[in-house]
Structure 1
């Protein structure tokens, strides 16, 4: 059964019909300046369309949408001399329609489709017999033509050239690489600051949120949930799309607040707090400026939610909220080991390739589930789009931008998944004091992988699984740097910042030794009663990791001279990668 299904899928792939996008240029019969282009889908094997509109003859459009042109009874008495008939789709093949139209003097044939546009196919013998172009026009566009121009119009069919590379890819590249670099740097710096500086839990600089360490079990559960959600969206898109939009609004407003909060806290004004109260959250007496920031973030999200389908400018708000969301996730989610990074990236690599390249053989329409969900099904009644992408409108002036997607898209997963590896590399850099060589190399590898993705998109002219190129580039580069520095073992097992983790293998276990030339023996440790009466300063009693500047194991550190207190209260000093 499986072999038969695979054979059928291969036959389906081999039988795919060549198709190209073209334009239907409509002008008023009265010769006025009013004109408009509409997208059509045609098969160049019937007849090719010219590329230059100036070299195309304008012909009268004959409205026969009430007929399907499947028999001689559908032909008008005067025929189609130098006309292009517009007929309904159904009840017969494209060859039967175009043969009747060509025999009656038509110079082309337009078929109105209420369903998704499919290429008008035939066989080699039929292609050789027909010499006029055949194209499909959407039902909505056909209604707009006669509503805007009236029943008597002149049209021209042509297929303009399209630039190989659109400039909007440059904007997406800058946003994606900038988000990965900034998010990885911020996540690594925040994690190092948390575990390597002396800060009391009840101090004013207390961290407001905790990073979440990802385990293999969490990775498996996450991937299974992604698969289920993608399949559900494919079959129940119109019902679930609003759930995804609501989740995005909540998560993006939280991410925007998290990104702007450190900047607002540095402002020297508006530090007054809410009066004492018993309300939830407000009983902590937050600062007024933080409340204003929260209202601002919610307002931005609400504005996007209301005007999300405004193609002219709403994409700017969506990209801003999306970048804030990605930065927040990179700061919150942490991969503790390179082993976990490898597992996550490889599993999602398989996930991405399967849902882009394999699922077209498993669906009735022959479309990729991933691309169909990301761009929105063509038969969706809501016409809503998933917001979990960075989108930039096409910047070229080709009319074909109306046919193909008017936006270039990059999913959040193509930023977050490699970005987690970049953040791990930054944490490891600071641990081994490698001048951020891992972080810089992995970020450059991500940029190169993204360029390869764009090249594959241009060459194949179809949606690409970006992780197919990003995962090998980032993983292999990180491994190569670790091998070059002879730190692959330490890099594989983790940077040593996780709580209650084992001591890093490159960190000495013994504490600092007293100077040999001091000549004075260490006095006995005082009883516990005396220690309780004279507590140590905060720097000595705070359980945590010592500052690298005070750590004798650090290459840049220096051994401090023993003081009276040091000699009176000797004890082990915690090393980087261990817990007190």
Structure 2
């Protein structure tokens, strides 16, 4: 049993570390949704609206239907438009629909543009994604993805004589879901920090009263020394690059790690509360030990929550609630478990993570052929053609390998105001676990959200969190004149009240003697 318990603790510790590493991959990201507005040519009162995804770096579309220009729709499906021979008649000035697959989005756009088409709609049977690729400035055609089932519905409802236009309703100036994310992040940090402090205090009291070090509590902790900090960040970089190249396999590894680590974390959080209740402590013998029935039921419940999420993880309407519950438990448990021996280790860790975040968000777009950052492509789920060999695409398809599979190590909150929410998949605001556990300081979070609102694009949260955390911590230590101890770390212990009183009395006598002299 001792060996099994040690293995369980090690597995829990490893799973937690792996999950937070994956969490560091995910910045605040947002999708680019729009609307295809279709009108029956001989009956303008008969209309249909459908969700589209577009790349705002490729395409600029109106924000409403005022003064828009309609274009005649030409449906080529099931043709793929990977060669000019797929088009047997004139499509000049028309909106063309072709099937997704066999060639990249850019290649389809170049062919449609060369034939004079005005709009290219790519019908997808595997889910909607933002079209990516190195589209040249000479190719000015509007490109968007649409569900193939919507094209089928359009043909059945409106027939063949249809005019269409694209528009993208503007997002609200302030995303109120950010308030919920802010509250969740600060709650996780507050609860995790309080739990960690109380656990450390209880351990110190035990050591003080018994005179021996209690190793059972320390086995649950992970202490990051300067060396392990460097290794930690190096592993983050390696994992991110591996995810960029091998997303379609590793995404399932991340899902499995998340299920294991979050179930264990939920059990740890709830069992800490249940043990405070002085009722229902029935036990039964098992391998020369006694197990509490209520904790066994609790373990079953936590596993069930994790399994239900894993099975229904792509159900946008409610699965995000389970993911957030598991994510909150994971973050609280990890903050309680993680130990920083001194401020020096903290500065090294956060400094390296800041460089890591900025490099993979802002610098890597200059290194990738698609022009997108490695961080954003991994967070959104790289497309199938992103498996590269010597920098060249080895597959022609631009479809994503696992279009419905996303990295689960994020807090997800649906946007409370969104004009296309009834058409598109429910849009979410996201915050990676890594931005909560390493670290999430309230002032830094506010600055992050302000930057997100002003720049209208995903932000590397650590760019704002790290300076706020380090500067405020250093200022507090400097004000208390404890900077040297804070930097190097300082051993401390819980003193006996009698000893404390005696020391205070001795100190008072010494002061009186000095005053008498």
| Structure 1 segment 176-325 matched on structure 2, within 5 A | 176-197=185-206, 198=208, 200=210, 207=217, 209-275=219-285, 277-278=286-287, 283-325=288-330
Label 1:169 to 1:250 Cα distance change in 2 as closer, same or farther (>3 A).
Answer: same
Residue 416 of structure 1 deviates from its aligned partner by: 1.0
Q: Quote the Cα distance in structure 1 between the aligned partners of 2:326 and 2:309.
A: 9
Which residue is equivalent to 2:73?
61
Q: Deviations over 1:92-141 (max 9, x none)?
A: 8759837734xxxxxx4335377962586535xx97xxxxxx31132x52
Higher strand share goes to which structure? 2
Q: Quote the Cα distance in structure 2 between the aligned partners of 1:466 and 1:73.
A: 46
Residue 254 of structure 1 deviates from its aligned partner by: 0.9
Q: Deviations over 1:398-420 (max 9, x none)?
A: 2289779922111111111126x
Label 1:84 to 1:347 Cα distance change in 2 as closer, same or farther (>3 A).
Answer: closer
Which residue is equivalent to 1:397?
418
Which residue is equivalent to 1:456?
451
Which residue is equivalent to 2:488?
493
- Does residue 407 of structure 2 align to residue 386 of structure 1? yes
Q: Quote the Cα distance in structure 1 between the aligned partners of 2:177 and 2:58.
A: 32
Q: Secondary structure at the match of 1:250?
A: helix
Decide which of 137, 146, 150 is 1:122's aligned counterpart. Answer: 137
Q: Secondary structure at the match of 2:277?
A: coil
Q: Quote the Cα distance in structure 2 between the aligned partners of 1:34 and 1:99.
A: 28
Label 1:448 to 1:116 Cα distance change in 2 as closer, same or farther (>3 A).
Answer: closer
Residue 334 of structure 1 deviates from its aligned partner by: 0.4
Q: Secondary structure at the match of 1:385?
A: coil
Q: Deviations over 1:295-318 (max 9, x none)?
A: 111111111111111111111111
Decide which of 163, 166, 183 is 1:174's aligned counterpart. Answer: 183
Residue 146 of structure 1 deviates from its aligned partner by: 2.4
Q: Deviations over 1:528-548 (max 9, x none)?
A: xxxxxxxxxxxxxxxxx5545
Decide which of 430, 435, 438 is 1:417's aligned counterpart. Answer: 438
Q: Quote the Cα distance in structure 2 between the aligned partners of 1:483 and 1:208.
A: 30
5+ long unaligned stretches in structure 1: 1-18, 102-107, 128-133, 420-445, 498-544, 560-580
Contact 1:23 1:37 in 2 (8 A): yes
Contact 2:82 2:111 in 1 (8 A): no
5+ long unaligned stretches in structure 2: 1-30, 100-104, 384-398, 507-517
Q: Secondary structure at the match of 1:100?
A: coil
Which residue is equivalent to 1:145?
151
- Does residue 169 of structure 2 align to residue 160 of structure 1? yes
Q: What is the count of residue pairs matched by the alignment?
A: 444
Q: Quote the Cα distance in structure 2 between the aligned partners of 1:20 and 1:98.
A: 26
Residue 32 of structure 1 deviates from its aligned partner by: 7.9
How does the TM-score come out when normalised to structure 1? 0.67
| Structure 1 segment 480-519 matched on structure 2, within 5 A | 480-497=475-492
Bigger relative contact order (CA 8 A; separation at least 6): 2
Q: Secondary structure at the match of 1:62?
A: strand
Label 1:335 to 1:266 Cα distance change in 2 as closer, same or farther (>3 A).
Answer: same
How does the TM-score come out when normalised to structure 2? 0.75
Decide which of 326, 335, 338 is 2:340's aligned counterpart. Answer: 335
- RMSD value over aligned CA atoms? 3.8
Q: Secondary structure at the match of 1:387?
A: coil
Residue 64 of structure 1 deviates from its aligned partner by: 3.6
Q: Secondary structure at the match of 1:286?
A: strand
Higher CA-based Rg: 1
Which residue is equivalent to 2:471?
476
Q: Quote the Cα distance in structure 2 between the aligned partners of 1:321 and 1:44.
A: 35
- Does residue 36 of structure 2 align to residue 24 of structure 1? yes
Residue 213 of structure 1 deviates from its aligned partner by: 2.1
Label 1:261 to 1:362 Cα distance change in 2 as closer, same or farther (>3 A).
Answer: same
Residue 322 of structure 1 deviates from its aligned partner by: 0.8
